[in-house]
Amino acid sequence: MNAKQENTLSMYYGFVEFVSGQLPLANQIPFFMEAYGQFMIAYEGILNYRLIQESELTGAALDKSVLRKQLESLTLGLGLQLMALAEVKKNYSLSKRASYSAADLSRATDMVVKDIAELILRLAQEFVTELAMYEVTVEQLAAFKLVIEEYSVAISRPRQTLSDKANATEQIEQLFDLAKERLDLMDKLAEASKGKYADFYNGYVRATHVTKASNKGLALRAYTKDANGNPVANVSFEILANTRVQTRSEGEEIPPTVAYLHKMTTDKGNLQVQNLPDGTYTALVRKQGYQDKEVIFKVVGSEMVELDVTMEPA
């Protein structure tokens, strides 16, 4: 993807995180969740095609990776709808059983991801009548079941030739058009409801417009290394705007606020971010096998911020 698409996708990530944390309010805004469901189809499609577009893998390895990403996205989306239903019905047992985060799925083994997907499918089948309010249909659940079955086969499928990257690029462009169309509709729905749901509207504006600020230059450059000075690749940076930093007690889990941007370091441990408006930010830096870090930085005018982060073993 090009730089503009990457920035837009970062904004989409923050938007999805925001709505996921505001489902009870989002469900009360007329037609909002219907538009959001269609947006999520486009968003998940972009993520899947980007994996094809950027990966150098072939055959079974790529096939499994694409299917896993798709399965994680579908499982998370359906799980969020089940949790929203549980909130409405005050069904705390259902909420607990359907409560899996993106981080839970990304850390899980291939077989555990399949098991979680099958659990979410069984719960959705059990509550399919009630889920109709979120436009979940029997046909959608049947399609979800097929993805689970394809993923199960892909885990042990022999290597084969795969993937047309040019087609992936074309599909990504079409999906961005669809996502923008749905987001424009949600803009209008949120605007129409701001008098009654002011807190939701203000959070919505922050989550969807942070990358549309007037600052055009490079705002942040980060570099991740280990204790020996070697670069650490694929480190996750979740950049939170105007975050009130809280001290963590031992064993205490503090939920993150809205993640406006999400980036991964390159193979050389580098990361660059553009279009950050002036303000104070917290970067949540994570990679499996290393200790989580919180790095606070401030963007002022056109001055670029440089972060040098040393990753310590967990």
Per-residue pLDDT tens for 17-58? 888 888 888 888 988 988 898 898 888 888 877 776 665 444
Residue 244 has pLDDT above 60, yes or no: no
296/240 Cα distance (integer angstroms)? 10
C-alpha torsion sign, points 177, 221, 268, 239: negative
How many Å apart are CA 311 and CA 293, to the nearest integer? Answer: 8
**Residue 273 burial (CB < 10 Å; 0-12/13-18/19+)?**
buried
Q: What is the pLDDT of residue 198?
A: 87
Instruction: List, in order, residues 6 or more apart from 69 with CB less than 8 Å away.
Output: 47, 48, 51
* CB neighbours of residue 39 within 10 Å: 22
Give the tens place of pLDDT for each residue, 288-307.
899 999 998 888 766 778 89
Q: Which residues pair with 223 in a beta bridge?
A: 270, 308
Residue 161 backbone class (left: φ over 0; alpha: ψ -120 to 50; beta: rest): beta
| Cα atoms in the 13 Å half-sphere on the side-chain side of 273 | 34
The tokens describing 272, both together, are 């660059």
Query: What domains can be seen in the chain, in order of their start residue?
Result: 3-192 (no CATH), 213-310 (2.60.40.10)
Measured distance CA(223)–CA(269) in Å, rounded: 5
Name the residue with tokens 């963007």.
Answer: 299
pLDDT of residue 311 exceeding 80, the answer is yes
For the chain, the first-to-last Cα distance in angstroms comes to: 33
177-205 pLDDT per residue, tens: 989 899 989 989 988 988 888 888 888 88
What is the tens place of the pLDDT at every residue in 129-169?
A: 999 888 888 888 988 998 898 888 876 654 433 445 667 77
- pTM score, whole prediction: 0.42
pLDDT digits (tens, 9 = 90+) for 72-120: 888 988 988 898 888 888 888 888 888 888 888 888 888 888 889 999 9
Tokens linked to 70: 């798709």
